């Protein structure tokens, strides 16, 4: 999935616009305009992978921004790998996306509510499923980060890897979008629990944060606000000596 460590720009979509939220809280976001234009900009700056999220879908369970996100896939999917999550709840949802050019679907709430979904999709689409484990106060949360599950992220990651997940996306919700820096201990626990790539997300504010997550064993890091706000350039992150 990631032959070399990558910095993956996020294109989070709410109400048809590219946004970045703080701590996943509605109303805290900054809007960055047209998602297709945002995706094109990251590709032009050298992104090898894009992380797309339907934020409305994550909260409502329905893929509210499906059309605009597929516009993004159609615009850049032949040049970069694309992983997409948010509101993907069924086999049919996931299969449609994977058949339409999405390289990997990201399952969060659906994976927690129906773990067998991961197994079925992994069998039909090897390498096509990433499980998203979003942690708040050390607990996996779902439904747009609004509901606790009682699950430990590292233990859950190991179970999904056994079910065939090609990777785990671990998001530290407590620092997501805050530009306050990363916390590597939780990332390292997840990395140590699985043999599949772990994609880290949440709190990245500097190139040193990127370096720290690489040091914790992450195969890639998803970055949103720090890139949109110009805290560092994608090219500098790509060329970072690790």
Point out which residues pair with 10 in neighbouring strands: 51
Nearest-angstrom CA–CA distance, 50 and 182 = 20
67: which 2 tokens? 């059309």
Determine the Cα angle at 59 with ends 55 and 64, to 5°.
60
Nearest-angstrom CA–CA distance, 206 and 213 = 11
Tell me if 94 sits within 8 A of 121, measured CB to CB: yes
Question: Which H helix or E strand runs over 124?
Answer: helix 115-124
> Which active-site residues does the annotation give?
12, 134
């Amino acid at each position: 999935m990631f032959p070399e460590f990558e910095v993956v720009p996020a294109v989070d979509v709410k109400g048809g616009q590219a946004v970045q939220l703080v701590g996943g809280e509605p109303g805290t976001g900054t809007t960055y305009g047209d998602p297709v234009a945002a995706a094109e900009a990251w590709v032009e700056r050298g992104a090898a992978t894009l992380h797309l999220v339907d934020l409305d879908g994550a909260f409502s369970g329905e893929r509210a921004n499906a059309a605009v996100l597929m516009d993004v896939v159609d615009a850049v999917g032949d040049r970069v790998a694309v992983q997409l999550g948010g509101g993907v709840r069924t086999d049919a949802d996931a299969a449609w996306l994977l058949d339409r050019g999405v390289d990997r679907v990201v399952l969060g709430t659906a994976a927690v509510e129906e773990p067998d979904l991961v197994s079925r999709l992994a069998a039909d689409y090897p390498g096509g499923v990433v499980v998203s484990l979003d942690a708040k106060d050390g607990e996996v949360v779902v439904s747009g980060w609004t509901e606790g599950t009682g699950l430990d992220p590292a233990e859950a990651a190991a179970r999904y890897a056994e079910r065939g997940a090609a990777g785990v996306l671990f998001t530290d919700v407590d620092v997501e979008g805050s530009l306050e820096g990363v916390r590597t201990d939780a990332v390292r626990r997840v990395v140590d629990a699985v043999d599949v790539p772990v994609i880290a997300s949440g709190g990245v504010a500097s190139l040193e944060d990127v370096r720290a997550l690489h040091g914790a064993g992450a195969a890639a890091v998803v970055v949103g606000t720090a890139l949109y706000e110009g805290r560092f350039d994608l090219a500098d992150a790509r060329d970072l000596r690790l």
